[in-house]
């Protein structure tokens, strides 16, 4: 089984069978026998959105860092279903073929299964934070600690993007590599961290690499639909018991800081850390602090993971999914045991 149609793993990248016909492309940084820590990327982002130097900093703290492409991004499996219309997204009137955050959380657990890890520390940014939260709620025995960065609960009136951010997101998708790089620079000038230097050269390089790995935009739209499909997850977050850290910048114009505050308020004993001048990115000037906070949260985890029944297994789909380039759309034995 391969990842996205035509995908070719580069040095360091490997493929894992996450179950239910989903293949995830991942990369490990650090010693494989070290404590696993998964970095979950945000909306439309790929594994390299977690800078290698940031990952190396975590590996130096004794973690085996695993960064990966979510379904519908990078070299992981892309679905063949048509993305929902924006009106269908906003009204949550999408077909049964549209997945949600619960399915993406199950992909994350499937990655752990394929790699042979009983549990791991989860760190997610933006949509990745939502996936990490959902995994901690649905699969508590698989999550040692949770770090949710610049994310939210899905509640309708909090964590909203700034109006200008919304308008930029609704712009037509770029059709060339050059246009994609220019669009990425524009959006990060809007949502980036005003309290830190703007590294346009790094953003251009990262945007070009992202285009070369996966130039499609349909996956991003399906991921966005997954967020809307999942709705308000506040109630299930109240059942999370693992050590939890919530990090948010006070200048975030993609997910308003109210999203971070609501996340921390919903999860018992969660620590909220607000970083002055930080927007919706991870500027190098924040790395030392964030790495220290992640490590401190992980060290709070008990020797054995919390073992309780999942708060909820909804809205995880149990229906077969349609995959791009994969004729087998049946559920795996792994998925059946997790249902």
Say if residues 149 and 297 touch (Cβ distance below 8 Å): no
CA angle 161, 166, 171 (to 5 degrees): 155
**What does the pLDDT read at residue 222?**
97
Read off the pLDDT of each residue in 104-130 and give the average, rounded to a whole number: 98
CA angle 169, 175, 176 (to 5 degrees): 120
**What does the pLDDT read at residue 334?**
30
The whole-angstrom separation of Cα 278 and Cα 250 is: 6
pLDDT in tens, 159-195: 999 999 999 998 999 999 999 999 999 999 999 999 9
**What does the pLDDT read at residue 9?**
56
pLDDT in tens, 274-326: 999 999 999 999 999 999 999 999 999 987 654 434 333 344 333 333 334 33
Tokens of 234: 């506040």
Q: Which helix (H) or strand (E) holds 111?
A: helix 101-115
The whole-angstrom separation of Cα 29 and Cα 54 is: 10
From edge to edge, which strands make up the β-sheet containing 271-275? Answer: 13-19, 22-29, 63-68, 35-40, 120-125, 143-149, 244-249, 271-275
**What does the pLDDT read at residue 10?**
67
**Boundaries of every domain in the chain:** 13-338
**What does the pLDDT read at residue 324?**
41
- Residue burial 192-218, b: 16+ Cβ < 10 Å; e: rest: bbebbeeeeeebeebbeebbebbebeb
**What does the pLDDT read at residue 320?**
34
**What does the pLDDT read at residue 8?**
53
Q: What percent of the chain has pLDDT over 70?
A: 86
13-338 is a CATH 3.40.50.300 domain: no
Strands 35-40 and 120-125: parallel
Task: Give me the residue label for tokens 């997610």.
Answer: 124
Instruction: Tell whether the model's pLDDT for residue 91 goes beyond 90.
Output: no
Instruction: Tell whether the model's pLDDT for residue 199 goes beyond 80.
Output: yes
- Residue burial 276-292, b: 16+ Cβ < 10 Å; e: rest: eebbbbbbeebeeebbe
pTM of the model: 0.88
Closest CA to 193 of 203, 180, 208: 203
Say if residues 287 and 54 touch (Cβ distance below 8 Å): yes
Helix (H, G, I), strand (E, B) or coil at 142: helix
Residue 165, preceding peptide bond in cis (omega within 30° of 0) = no
Closest CA to 69 of 51, 98, 49: 49
Going by pLDDT thresholds of 50, 70 and 90, the confidence category of residue 158 is: very high
How big, in percent rounded to 5, are the helix, strand and coil portions of the chain? 40, 15, 45
**What does the pLDDT read at residue 96?**
87
Cα–chain-centroid distance for residue 149?
Answer: 10
| Between 337 and 311, residue with greater pLDDT | 311
CA angle 40, 225, 100 (to 5 degrees): 60
Read off the pLDDT of each residue in 144-148 and give the average, rounded to a whole number: 98
Say if residues 298 and 121 touch (Cβ distance below 8 Å): yes
Closest CA to 338 of 128, 107, 124, 131: 107
Closest CA to 5 of 325, 264, 331: 325
Average pLDDT, the chain: 88
| Between 9 and 265, residue with greater pLDDT | 265
Instruction: Tell whether the model's pLDDT for residue 225 goes beyond 60.
Output: yes
Q: Which of 30-44, 82-96, 111-125, 157-171 is predicted least confidently?
A: 82-96
Read off the pLDDT of each residue in 119-143 and give the average, rounded to a whole number: 98
Say if residues 211 and 181 touch (Cβ distance below 8 Å): yes
| Between 334 and 230, residue with greater pLDDT | 230
């Amino acid at each position: 089984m391969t990842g996205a149609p035509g995908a070719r793993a580069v040095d360091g990248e490997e493929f894992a069978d996450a179950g239910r016909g989903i293949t995830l492309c991942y990369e490990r940084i650090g010693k494989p026998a070290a404590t696993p820590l998964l970095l979950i990327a945000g909306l439309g982002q790929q594994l390299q959105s977690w800078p290698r130097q940031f990952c190396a900093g975590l590996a130096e703290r004794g973690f085996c860092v695993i960064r990966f492409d979510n379904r519908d991004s990078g070299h992981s499996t892309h679905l063949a279903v048509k993305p929902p219309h924006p009106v269908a997204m906003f009204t949550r009137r999408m077909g049964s073929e549209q997945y949600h955050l619960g399915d993406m959380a199950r992909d994350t657990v499937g990655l752990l299964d394929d790699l042979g890890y009983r549990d791991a520390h989860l760190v997610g940014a933006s949509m990745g934070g939502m996936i990490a939260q959902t995994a901690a709620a649905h699969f508590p025995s698989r999550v040692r600690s949770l770090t949710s960065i610049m994310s939210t609960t899905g509640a309708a009136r909090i964590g909203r993007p700034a109006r200008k951010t919304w308008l930029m997101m609704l712009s037509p998708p770029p059709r060339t590599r050059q246009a994609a790089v220019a669009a990425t620079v524009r959006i990060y000038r809007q949502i980036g961290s005003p309290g830190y230097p703007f590294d346009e050269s790094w953003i251009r390089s990262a945007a070009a690499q992202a285009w070369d790995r996966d130039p499609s935009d349909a996956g991003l739209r399906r991921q966005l639909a997954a967020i809307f499909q999942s709705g308000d997850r506040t109630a299930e977050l109240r059942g999370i018991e693992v050590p939890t850290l919530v990090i948010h910048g006070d200048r975030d114009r993609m997910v308003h800081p109210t999203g971070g505050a609501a996340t921390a308020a919903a999860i018992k004993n969660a620590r909220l850390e607000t970083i002055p001048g930080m927007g919706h990115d991870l500027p190098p000037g924040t790395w030392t602090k964030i790495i220290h906070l992640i490590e401190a949260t992980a060290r709070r985890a008990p020797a054995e993971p919390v073992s309780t029944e999942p708060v909820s297994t909804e809205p995880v789909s149990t229906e077969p999914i349609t995959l791009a380039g994969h004729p087998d759309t049946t559920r795996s034995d792994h998925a059946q045991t997790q249902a």
